[in-house]
Amino acid sequence: MNISIRLEEEKDFKIVEYMTREAFWDLYKPGCDEHLVLHKIRKVPVFVKELDFVACDEDTIVGNIIY
């Protein structure tokens, strides 16, 4: 495993939102909305895209963090 960290790009948005939804989805507890927060936060004028990172294993996104 070779993990690298880079800035998130617009082409990554859907992948990261899907990954986030899958990570927080719970059949027994409704309300999984973390992926929607990601979608909305990127549209806020004060969003700092230089603080939005993805972790990749080779070319596959395996993580995301926004500061």
List per-residue pLDDT tens for the chain, 67 residues long: 899 999 999 999 999 999 999 999 887 877 789 999 999 999 999 999 999 999 999 999 999 999 9
Range of the domain at 54: 3-66
User: What's 40's domain CATH number?
Assistant: 3.40.630.30
Number of domains making up the chain: 1
pLDDT on residue 63: 97
Report the predicted TM-score, pTM, of the whole model to 2 decimal places.
0.86
8, 54 Cβ separation under 8 angstroms: yes
pLDDT on residue 67: 92
Q: In the beta sheet, which residues pair with residue 63?
A: 55
Q: Exposed, middle or buried, 16 (CB in 10 Å: 0-12/13-18/19+)?
A: buried
